[in-house]
Structure formats: structure tokens, C-alpha cells
Amino acid sequence: MLNLSALTLIIPLITGILLGYFLREKRRVSLDKVSLIAIVVLIFSLGFSIGSNSELLNSMPRIGLTALVMSVLAIIFSVFFVKLARRRVRME
């Protein structure tokens, strides 16, 4: 995943929430463009780390299909359980 500790993720998030809360009544700024650009940069660098990881790429032909089947199953069951649980506790 990454070399950041959970704290380095929580701090900017909380700072943003608090600042947003206090800026509520002020004029609205559109952050759509900023976040879209940052998402593109983030996904690009994720792709970059995949493309430059020769170990990962080399292991793909051997275990790729097994890993794909298993990851799809993990996703399907997770989605199913969350859907079920959400209905159970009546979560919006």
C-alpha cells in the first residue's frame, strides 16, 4: 500500500473536515478540478509503481489467473455481505 503511517493520513483528513466545518457559511469554492487533477496524479503514480515493478510483472503469467479468480471471489462475497448487513441494520 504505502509507506505512510495511518496518522499521516488522518491528520490531513481531520484538518480538512474541521476547516470545512468552520468555512461552512463562507462562499463555496469548487474543488472538483483540484481533486480530479490530484486523482489523475495519484492513479498515474500507482500505475507507475506497477509498471516499474518487474517482480510483479514477471509473476503475472504464472499466478495471475489464480490471483484473479480469488480476488474476484473475495470482492463478490464482500459486496454480498455488506449489502446483507446494511439491510439488516437499516443503514442508509
Q: Restricting to residues 43-82, which ones interact with another protein according to CB under 8 A?
A: 43-54, 56-57, 59-60, 62-64, 66-82
Within residues 17-46, the interface with another protein by CB under 8 A covers 17-24, 28, 31, 34-36, 38-46
Return the ∠ at Cα 68 (arms to 50 and 2), rounded to 5°. 35
Q: Smallest distance from the beta carbon of 72 to another protein, in angstroms? A: 7
Contact flag: residue 5 with another protein (CB under 8 A): no
